[in-house]
Homo-oligomer: A and B are copies of this chain.
Amino acid sequence: MESEIILIGNELLIGKVQDTNGKFIIDHLIPLGMQITQITIIPDDLLRIRNAVLDSLTRKPMFIFTSGGLGPTFDDMTLEGINQILKPFQEMKENADALEMIYQSYSKRFKKSTKEVKSFLEKRYPLHHKMAILPQCAIPLNNSEGMAPGVLIPKEFTNGVTEIIALPGVPLELEAIFVQHIVSRVQKLTRDIKYYQCGFIFANLGESRFTELIYSIKDKYPEIWIKTHPRSKLMNGKRIYEVEVHLTAFTKNKSIPNKINELYNILKEHVQNSRGKILKENPLLE
């Protein structure tokens, strides 16, 4: 099962902010057995948002998670971008549930009654309405850490396969909505799938040489993805070369752990037989 992530915000593209939202989503989805097949980072630009979501929909992931652009300001345009490609034609209109969430949120933050908050907001912050203007088919997700609700677009209105989950860009808010509303939703779908990973690091043997074995063996283990990472570092003024071998699998197949262990041992022995040295082991934990 595959998902994609679209991170929206110019600040990510001028080096002002290093993304943490994509990392958070990945770190929570991978252990659930949900693969991420693309991350797209784009600026706050309506056409680019529309096109990135459209491109992603053609690849038919199970979910598209977007981050950013749900706030009250003029450059928050994620939902408008998404709305342009929903079908049949959707109106952007005020969602009563979303508006209620916004009032509740202010009311909690300022310790005032909902009634007080309503008249205060109407008078002083008319832009709060913008956060409640959603595509007609959208389902708002309560944001316990901020104003802008998350937004779920059911798959019936996208390509029939992909559910779009739009999350705010503020990490605290994204994380709260993700944990409260998304994790169990994904879990239901990936219940049978598990993610496995293990690996080791070796030295004294080049990556190219090691790879020859992988070429000859990888087709025997089609469900296991074998990756090597060469690295070099300076140690006491000397450059040290090492290679990390990493085995992963996303699968329902319960015999995979045995196969991973088998492959792990074959690769390790190959290194040792070629006078390579195992520096660190990270075997499969179950």
- Residues on B with C-beta less than 8 A from A226 are 75
- Residues on B with C-beta less than 8 A from A44 are 227
Pick the contact of A125: B41, B124, B208, B232 (CB < 8 A).
Answer: B208
A-B residue pairs in contact (CB < 8 Å), sample of 16: A11-B227, A11-B229, A11-B246, A13-B35, A13-B37, A14-B30, A14-B248, A15-B23, A41-B41, A72-B208, A72-B211, A73-B208, A73-B211, A73-B214, A146-B232, A170-B230
- Oligomer copy total: 2
- Residues on B with C-beta less than 8 A from A13 are 26, 35-39
- Residues on B with C-beta less than 8 A from A27 are 15
Name the residue in A27, A207, A248 with the highest tally of chain B Cβ atoms < 10 Å from its Cβ: A207
Pick the contact of A39: B41, B170, B228 (CB < 8 A).
Answer: B41
How many of chain A's residues have a CB under 8 angstroms from any CB in B? Answer: 59
For A208-236 the 0/1 string (1 means CB < 8 A from B) is 11011011001000000111111110000
- Is A18 part of the contact surface with B, judged by Cβ < 8 Å? yes
Given contacts A10-B225, A10-B227, contact A74 B15 (CB under 8 A): no
- Is A40 part of the contact surface with B, judged by Cβ < 8 Å? yes
Question: Please, how many angstroms separate the alpha-carbon atoms of A258 and B229 in the complex?
Answer: 49
Q: Are B14 and A197 in contact (CB under 8 A)?
A: yes
Given contacts A73-B211, A74-B218, A218-B74, contact A40 B43 (CB under 8 A): no
For A57-96 the 0/1 string (1 means CB < 8 A from B) is 0000000000000011111000000000000000000000
- Is A42 part of the contact surface with B, judged by Cβ < 8 Å? yes
- Is A286 part of the contact surface with B, judged by Cβ < 8 Å? no
- Is A160 part of the contact surface with B, judged by Cβ < 8 Å? no
Q: Are B172 and A212 in contact (CB under 8 A)?
A: no
Distance to closest chain B CB from A282 (angstroms): 11
- Residues on B with C-beta less than 8 A from A218 are 74
